[in-house]
A and B are shown apart, each in its own frame.
Chain A
Amino acid sequence: MVFHKCVCSYVPPYVIGSLARRGSVTERGQARITAQQGKLSREVRRDKPVKMHEILASAGAASAGAARAGAASVTAAAAGSAGREVWDSAHTWDQRKTLVRAEGAAATPDPDVNLVYDSAGVVRKFYKEQLDRNSIDNLGMNLVLNVHFGTNYMNAFWDGDEMTFGDGDGAIFTSFARSLDVIAHELAHGVTQFTANLDYNSQSGALNEHFSDVFGTAVTQFAENQEAGDADWLIGNEIMGPTLFGESLRSMMAPGTAYDNTLMGKDPQPAHMSNYYAGPADNQGVHINSGIPNRAFYLVATDIGTPRAAAVWYHALQNLWATANFADAVDVIVASARVLTQSGKAPLGTTQSVRSAFRDVGL
């Protein structure tokens, strides 16, 4: 049964979301807060059995949503069809402001819209072909992508049901929507939410970040038809603006070496547990300590190939849990390596390769 993974809510999130996009500023603020709380309550409800009437109620509201979007010139894909929906925030701070390109529609004059549309298609294809997963929730959830969020906004994020991308400031960062890496990373946060649902702090949070970097880089190599040995294993190099051109945000091959400049300082990622970051910043180092398992994945991928390493990690992600720490992850990834070796999906020696890689990083 997969229904226990379905994240449902009595008030469908897009109804509250729609409120958040209409109405006065105060109403919007309230609706936004409610939407956030809804996301939380959906989180809390994740382990409860889902009743059919909830799913049916959701489906009914989804058609209403589609009809609303249909009032504009672009019609959204049917809910649950894994369709892409690209929305233009038009430099406001609103999500789902205007639907500008939906599944199957022709290209628009906006290159960012087309790039994000194409990239999301590549990511969807990767999950389907390589991992036999039907979109983010494995139930054909539509891929909602907001571009041109805010002004000079230097970020991209996943907030529970959609992805949002800023244009960068043009100096430090270019548009986040133009990078396949970024889109695959954000979409993977969605996949994690619907599987292990790793808590976003400390070691479970670093694992959450790690899985996003793993699938981000696996998708890039898939799209560019690269072997592990040819890839650069860099994260974020595509979005560095003129100020930081030539540097990147993370290196899975050599964590801690991605950048060293006045603005950002030196890349703080450890490549080994001996340099583990135990401070409070960054939700207790979720983007920092992810360097440790990242390096282990790189070692395994260079040994057995990225697609097979990604399959092992994906199998593990479905068996991990919200509060899992690094030691738990090692146990589960090793167990997954054994399962996939037994079924012939990973080569003999995969289990030893995984153990050896984690030993190399001090785990």
Chain B
Amino acid sequence: MMQIRFEMSGGYAGMFAARPLTYQVAVDELPEPERAALRELVERSGLLTSPPPEPARATPDALTYRLTITSEGRTHQLTLHDPSVPAAVRPLLQDLQQRAIAQRAGTA
């Protein structure tokens, strides 16, 4: 069982300022090969095994990403800010951002 909750806020645009861009997914309910692909992005991000430390301070106009990943009964809560996001995490954030935008554009 893997569940992911993604939230993106901040940025120069101030878009998503009052209403952060969010997306929630039960990974196991996704069809293949989407499911395996997303699981692999999580695995490659290294977030579950070596989460990066909280950033020291707010950077003007930086985007903030909040992730809650529940996997094998454990919940991992992470906050990441540009520009200190590890490169290995970027593909996962990008995938989740695209899903969030597609969902909001389609349903909101």
Q: Which A residues contact B (CB, under 8 angstroms)?
A: 25, 28-29, 32-33, 36-37, 39-40, 43, 92-95, 150-152, 154-160, 164, 172-173, 176, 182, 185-186, 189, 200-201, 205, 208-209, 212, 236, 243, 249-250, 262-265, 268, 277, 279, 281-283, 285, 287-288
Q: Given the complex of chains A and B, what is the CA–CA distance between A210 and B22 in angstroms?
A: 27
Given contacts A157-B83, A265-B19, contact A281 B9 (CB under 8 A): yes
With the chains together, A95 CA to B60 CA distance in Å?
16
**Does A95 contact B14, Cβ atoms closer than 8 Å?**
no
Give the number of chain B interface residues (Cβ < 8 Å): 37
**By the criterion CB–CB under 8 Å, are A157 and B12 in contact?**
yes
Chain B residues with a Cβ under 8 A of chain A = 9-20, 52-53, 55-63, 82-88, 90, 94, 98, 101, 104-105, 108
CB pair B60–A212 under 8 Å, yes or no, is: yes
Query: If the complex has contacts A150-B90, A155-B63, are A262 and B104 also in contact, measured as CB distance less than 8 A?
Result: yes
Q: Which of A33, A39, A154 contacts B11 (CB 8 A)?
A: A154
Residues of B contacting A154 in the complex (Cβ-Cβ under 8 angstroms): 11, 13
* Cα distance A38–B41 in the bound complex, in angstroms: 31
A28-B87, A32-B84, A173-B13 known; A157 vs B19 contact (CB < 8 Å): no
What residues of B have a CB within 8 angstroms of the CB of A208 in the complex?
Answer: 60
Whether B59 contacts A281 by the Cβ 8 Å rule is no
B15 near A282 (CB under 8 angstroms)?
A: no
**Is the Cβ of B12 less than 8 Å from the Cβ of A186?**
yes
* A182-B12, A264-B16 known; A158 vs B61 contact (CB < 8 Å): yes
In the bound complex, CA of A47 to CA of B63 (Å): 28
> Which residues from chain B contact A285 at a C-beta distance below 8 Å?
17-18
Q: Could you tell me if A264 and B15 are in contact, using CB atoms closer than 8 angstroms?
A: yes
Q: Identify B61's interface contact among A36, A37, A151, A189, CB under 8 A.
A: A189
Contact B15 A249 (CB under 8 A): yes
Interchain CA distance A265-B105 in the complex, whole Å: 10
Beyond A157-B83, A160-B59, 6 additional contacts (C-beta under 8 Å) are A36-B84, A159-B59, A186-B12, A264-B15, A282-B9, A285-B18
